[in-house]
Structure 1
Amino acid sequence: MSKELKTGIISVIIIALGIWGYNFLKGQDLFSPNSRHFYVEYKNINGLDEASIVTINGLQVGKVEKISFNTEGEKKGTLQVKLSIENDFEFSKNSIAKIYSAGLMGGQNLAIVPSYEGEIAVSGDYLQGEIESDLFSSVGEKLNPIQAKLENVLVGADSLLIGFNQVLNEKSRKSLNRSILALEYTVNDVRKTLGSVNSILDNNKGNIDATLNNAKKITDDFSKVSDDLAKANLGATVKKLESTLEGVNGILAEVKNGDGTLGKLMTDEKMYNNLTNASKELEELLREIKLNPKRFVHFSLFGKKAKPYNEENNQQNISNQ
């Protein structure tokens, strides 16, 4: 082989490697002719570069080949992104190509969120495009409403202070100062009162301790009484009391129904009258014995007769002797 031929072959190889390396840096792999290409349109690619990786469920399946402006009709000015996917994983045309941040210091990558409903996507189809907010964008989006609300609060506070200054004229301020001074005096009085209370407590600490000890003793005694009551057979006592009450109720029922001596005495009017008459006669007999004892115990050597019973004198407590 001649020297010129070797030089030509080496030159061709170097040129081919240069072309391959240039295309590889652009995200194009000349050794993967079976890769599929998809297109996505964005109004803003948020810093996406050519040769950025394309992932599906976190797995790298391709790269961004080309980013160009759209110059046609209503879509003029939008950005058209060409994707090269080497993996043969199938997904539908309803899948979403989402631009996301690779990290705080990294660039932007593109992830395909696959959908399996609808017609399967083939090379050359357009996919729906979305942009995922990065950390700073999310913080900004959340802070913007807060900032607006804070501005409204500050405006309201400023209006409130202006109105407050208008209300608090010189007379009102003087009145407010007097009120504050009065409040200060009141606080001082309260402090003095608390000092007096503390002094009283210190002077009577022994009495307070004795009172607390007595209270503790009373509590302990009450606890012991409670224990004794708990240990006592209250159930049996209550049962006995119930049976006693039942007996008393039975007796009262008999008295109410006129059964027995006491019941007849309470309900039989005839017996009541007899007892009343007997009591009256006994009373008269005792009075007669008291007034005229010689009629009942009589002893005479000469045979003198006792005077007979005189009802009128007896009722007037006059003796017949």
Structure 2
Amino acid sequence: MKKLFTKEVKIALAVLISAVILVVGIEYLKGINLMKPTNYYYIEYKNVTGLTVSTPVVIDGFKVGLVREINYNYDKPGTVTVEVSLDNQLKVPSGSKAVLMVDFLGTATIDLRLNKYVSTYHSAGDVLIGENAPDMLGSIQNNVLPQLTAMLPKIDTILTGIQTIVTNPALSESIDHLNRITADLEVSSKKLSHIMDKDMPPILANVTGITENVNEFSSQLNELDLKKTVVSVDSTLLGLQSITNKLNNNDNTLGLLLNDKQLYDGLLNTVGSADSLLIDLRLNPKRYVHFSLFGRKK
């Protein structure tokens, strides 16, 4: 009887199994699970920069599929058809969009944005709406770079002004002044600390003693009979007022001397006459005095 599994058959089976394992391994390394059922859809893009086979398809950041093939559509020049496989359980509503996004490092991702406002769904094999998200690098190149280019002359002017200020000798002098001021402040601070530690306690002790003396003096003032003192002062003021009134009246000698104008004029005339008499006496003494050292002549 002829054997069923000859050496040739065994070698063929080994090669076939190896090929299957190789294909499954390659697909697995690509992120494709051949054992998981999927649905295939097609997306048309005008630009697929950064897009590669096995690029993930995500919904709100969760992976629901990946890219299987990328082919140029020769029937519609300027478009590229991308075949994606999505989970079998995923229902894609009509009008959903597949947005191709490229990050700053050039890594592409297809963000599937489902239309939540319809109740109809795409069938497997349908063409989904494809859009390209604004390229970050292109946006920077188109929007940011022109503004930076316009700002470069201003930045150069600012840097030149800063360099001028930094190289100005006045800045070095100002820094030296600040250093000296800082040193003086440090010395003053040390002196103040010394005063607070050494001189302030005796001063505070003196202030305490003065306060105690003031309190003692206040106590002594409280103990004085101020009422009698005030009465005595009032009596003295009344006496002074009585004397003043008498001096202003003409019913007494002092009042007459101070208030009688005729008496004042008479005294003034008498003083004038006495003055004239003294002058005449000084000028003509012989008229009033007769004397001799040797006696009177006969």
Pick the TM interval, shorter chain.
0.3 to 0.5
TM-score (norm 2): 0.43
